[in-house]
């Protein structure tokens, strides 16, 4: 039986307690929250979370031009490692086990220097942050992004290669089915090849809406997640159909991602689990 | 075979110029009947030379456009809109001269503009696109050429992402020679259902491009090919089917295609294996009518 979270990023600017109450109402096991501890502190979250008895599975890191692990500017690289460590502290304070990591600024699609150098910077930065995470009982999850959002790690096999090079128990591979629907040739096959390295899972359909709204076949994906003996949480990271996601969310223009998808996503996946005879699914 | 299968010049050379026309022999040798020539730099192509190379190698030419920042028919600046209209008319001239029945591509905007606009701003951009397309459509009609408008995924444009939005644009232009180009790569990201999208846009579908979900060799990824071809059969699609991918060196729309890594062992392998696969799908679904 899988455990589910919903990434509250898509709830935009609404008060956090409303989102947490929504997750509780629709039977979620965990909340997944955005890692901006200087904007909303762990204490603020704790208050709302404990009211609804809702634990946090994972912290989604936001990578901007100032948070770019492979920037040619060493000060930016150092700032990025510091940001990730801050999210590890944030996770530890909230009891979350996962912090997401992507080594480039979101929407940056070209290297600044040669790609081998950038890869080496990514490995070095990830190693330092992974050791810090491990020391705090947290694990980093290295997430490939599609070609429009990044250029360095787009597919699961690249994430596997980087995680193996980092070679630290504080980091694993992350699978996001929306990115994989664009970049990977075979989603279940890629998940199987990640095997025990699989640290975190994001679920979204081919159009980044709730599973069932597009045409991904989630049955073999669930089978692959089950077969690699994944013990982590499956979080729905659903986002609007736009190049400028931040703008849409700030403008509160994504109402279907509130109650409708929060409700339908977990229902859809539990039905698949049921059809596969996975135990204890209600 | 009723549906002719083509290869995009984006797979061969970019920008594709007169100096590359000798590649047509290779394209014919791979089995193709159509070469889709993208007019990246009109000054480096002549329709006379294109036509004589096509005759020599027994290929049909299909014309498509590449829409960089200066070819933007829905830009807020009327001068840039005019440049976009001029460019499209140039493409129409090429099409008329080389026997392509339409000009295809995401001609409603510069490719790669994916901004957040307010509903009034969006409406204004849409209206500019309609105005410019109406101008181009009537010119194209005078030359007996159609326009095949291509929806692009959310990361490449903020204006027309789905076939449904494409139909809305066609209806707003309201000219009989304006229809759609549908592309499996974009549909794989944006559509909820390939078959439903195709069936509801049926009367508008002028042209088809095929590409795998990762822009790699058709048949080696996640696109639901049987569903796609079954839908084409159902609407009696008799037009061309063009394989498109991008060399990593594409300049005019590099930001948009975001092609920085090889998606197949080589572009030749993509063209050869892609032709084998698309031919087999066409034979399975389209030729049994």
How many degrees, rounded to 5, is the angle at CA B81 between CA B79 and CA B85?
Answer: 115
Residue B254: per-residue pLDDT: 62
Whether B188 sits inside 8 A of A181 (CB atoms) is yes
How would residue B250 be classed by pLDDT, with cut points 50, 70 and 90?
A: confident
Q: Does the annotation mark A143 as catalytic?
A: yes
- The mean predicted confidence, pLDDT, of chain A is 96
In B40-128 the beta strands, taken as DSSP E runs, fall at 60-65, 102-105
Q: What domains are defined for chain B?
A: 5-285 (3.20.20.150)
Residues 6+ apart with CB under 8 A from B152: B106, B111, B160, B161, B183, B186, B256
Q: pLDDT by residue (tens digit) across B202-241?
A: 999 999 999 999 999 999 999 999 999 999 999 999 999 9
Task: Give the global pTM.
Answer: 0.95
The CATH number that applies at residue A267 is 3.20.20.150
Q: Taking the CB of residue B10, how many other CB atoms lie within 10 A of it?
A: 27
**Inter-chain contacts counted by CB atoms under 8 A, chains A and B:** 72
Classify residue A210: in a domain, yes or no. Answer: yes
Residues in chain B: 289
Q: What percent of chain B has pLDDT over 90?
A: 88
Rounded to an integer, the average pLDDT of A184-213 is 98
Q: At what angle do helices A156-166 and A187-194 cross, to 10 degrees?
A: 10
The pLDDT value given to residue B32: 98
Q: Is A9 helix (H, G, I), strand (E, B) or coil?
A: helix
Torsion over CA: A78, A84, A88, A90 (sign): positive
Query: What are the phi and psi torsion angles at A213 (to 5°)?
Result: -90, -15
Q: Which two tokens stand for residue B270?
A: 């993509």
User: Interface pTM (ipTM) of the complex?
Assistant: 0.92
Residue B226 vs residues B81, B109, B202: alpha-carbon distances, Å:
40, 32, 17
Best mutation site among A187, A243, A249, A268 for testing chain B: the one with the most B CBs within 10 Å?
A: A243
Q: Supply angle C-alpha A30, A36, A39, rounded to 5.
A: 115
What is the four-CA torsion angle of A165, A182, A84, A121, rounded to 10 degrees? Answer: 40
Q: Which residues are bridge partners to A142 per DSSP? A: A101, A173
* Residue A26, Cβ density class (10 Å: 0-12 exposed, 13-18 middle, ≥19 buried): middle
In this structure, what DSSP letter does residue B113 have?
B
Flag whether A263 is in a domain: yes
Structurally, chain A folds into a number of domains equal to 1
Q: Is the pLDDT of residue B284 over 50?
A: yes
Overall average pLDDT of the B251-255 stretch: 64
Give the per-residue pLDDT at B146: 98
> Is position A131 within any domain?
yes
Sort out which chain B residues have CB atoms less than 8 A from A188's CB and list them. none
Each residue's pLDDT tens digit, A149-187: 999 999 999 999 999 999 999 999 999 999 999 999 999
Instruction: Give B-chain residues touching A189 at CB under 8 angstroms.
Output: none
Q: What single string gives the DSSP state of each residue in B169-180?
A: HHHHHT-TTEEE
Distance CA A4, CA A142 (A): 19
Instruction: Say whether A237 is catalytic.
Output: yes
Q: How far apart are CA A179 and CA B255, in angstroms?
A: 18
R_g of chain A computed on alpha carbons: 18
Q: Which pLDDT tens digit goes with each residue over B126-179?
A: 999 999 999 999 999 999 999 999 999 999 999 999 999 999 999 999 999 999
The angle, 0 to 180 degrees and rounded to 10, between the axes of the packed helices B78-98 and B47-56 is 40
Assign B5 to helix, strand or coil.
strand
Q: Which of these is catalytic: A32, A149, A237, A273? A: A237
Host domain of residue A74: 3-275
Considering the domain boundaries, does residue A281 fall inside one? no
């Amino acid at each position: 039986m899988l455990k589910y979270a919903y990434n509250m990023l898509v709830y935009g600017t609404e008060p956090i307690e409303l989102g947490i109450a929504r997750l509780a109402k629709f039977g979620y096991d965990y909340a997944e929250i955005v890692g901006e501890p200087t904007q909303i502190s762990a204490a603020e979250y704790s208050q709302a979370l404990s009211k609804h008895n809702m634990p946090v599975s994972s912290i989604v890191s936001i990578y901007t031009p100032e948070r770019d692990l492979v920037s040619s500017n060493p000060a930016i690289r150092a700032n990025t490692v510091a940001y990730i460590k801050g999210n590890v502290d944030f996770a530890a304070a909230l009891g979350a086990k996962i912090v997401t990591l992507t080594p480039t600024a979101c929407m940056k699609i070209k290297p600044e220097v040669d790609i081998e150098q950038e890869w080496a910077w990514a490995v070095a930065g990830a190693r330092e942050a992974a050791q810090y995470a491990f020391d705090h009982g947290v694990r980093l999850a290295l997430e490939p992004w599609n070609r429009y959002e990044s250029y360095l790690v787009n597919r699961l096999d690249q994430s596997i290669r980087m995680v193996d090079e980092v070679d630290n128990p504080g980091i694993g591979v992350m699978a996001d089915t929306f990115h994989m629907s664009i970049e990977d040739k075979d989603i279940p096959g890629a998940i199987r090849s990640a095997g025990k390295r699989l640290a975190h899972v994001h679920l979204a359909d081919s159009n980044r809406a709730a599973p069932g709204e597009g045409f991904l076949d989630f049955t073999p994906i669930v089978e692959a997640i089950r077969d690699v003996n994944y013990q982590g949480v499956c979080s729905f990271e659903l986002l609007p159909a736009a190049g400028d996601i931040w703008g849409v969310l700030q403008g509160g223009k994504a109402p279907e991602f509130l109650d409708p998808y929060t409700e339908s996503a977990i229902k859809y996946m539990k039905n698949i689990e049921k059809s596969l005879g996975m135990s204890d699914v209600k | 075979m009723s549906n002719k299968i083509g290869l995009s010049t984006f797979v061969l050379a970019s920008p594709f110029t007169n100096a590359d026309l000798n590649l047509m022999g290779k394209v014919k040798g791979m089995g193709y009947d159509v070469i889709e020539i993208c007019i990246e730099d009109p000054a480096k192509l002549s329709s006379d030379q294109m036509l004589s190379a096509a005759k020599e190698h027994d290929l049909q030419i299909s014309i498509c456009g590449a829409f960089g920042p200066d070819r933007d028919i829905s830009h807020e600046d009327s001068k840039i809109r005019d440049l976009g209209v001029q460019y499209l008319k140039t493409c129409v001239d090429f099409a008329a001269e080389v026997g392509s029945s339409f000009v295809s591509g995401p001609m409603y905007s510069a490719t790669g503009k994916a901004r957040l606009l307010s509903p009034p701003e969006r409406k204004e951009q849409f209206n500019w696109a309609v105005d410019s397309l109406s101008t181009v459509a009537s010119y194209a009609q005078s030359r007996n050429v159609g326009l095949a408008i291509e929806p692009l995924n959310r990361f490449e444009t903020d204006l027309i992402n789905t076939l449904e939005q494409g139909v809305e644009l066609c209806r707003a232009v309201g000219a009989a020679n304006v229809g759609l180009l549908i592309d499996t790569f974009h549909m794989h990201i944006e559509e909820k259902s390939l078959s439903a999208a195709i069936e509801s846009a049926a009367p508008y579908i002028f042209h088809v491009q095929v590409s795998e979900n990762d822009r790699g060799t058709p048949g080696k990824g996640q696109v639901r090919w049987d569903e796609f071809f079954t839908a084409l059969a159902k609407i009696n699609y008799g037009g061309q089917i063009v394989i498109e991918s991008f060399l990593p060196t594409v300049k005019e729309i590099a930001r948009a295609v975001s092609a920085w890594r090889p998606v197949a062992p080589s572009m030749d392998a993509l063209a050869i294996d892609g032709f084998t696969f698309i031919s087999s799908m066409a034979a399975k679904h389209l030729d049994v009518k």
